[in-house]
Amino acid sequence: MPKLKCNDYGFECNFEVDGDQEKVIENFRTHTDEVHGIDYSKEAVMQFLLRKQK
């Protein structure tokens, strides 16, 4: 199951999201934009997920 955590990407933040891939991508993007002011593209977040799987 895909999972992303803000603190894995340099943020001092406890936000985590897991679930199906589309949900993880959209929720992570929404959170980083609204809370951290960073608008990651869908492709960038997909790369985060792919790198975590290695």
10-residue stretch averages of pLDDT, the chain, 54 residues long = 92 96 96 96 95 78
pTM summary value = 0.91
Burial of 7 (0-12, 13-18, 19+ CB in 10 A): exposed
Query: pLDDT at position 12, please?
Result: 94
Query: pLDDT at position 52, please?
Result: 82
In 3-state terms, what secondary structure has residue 8?
Answer: helix
Query: pLDDT at position 54, please?
Result: 64
Query: pLDDT at position 26, please?
Result: 97
Residue 36 lies in domain: 3-52
Structurally, the chain folds into a number of domains equal to 1
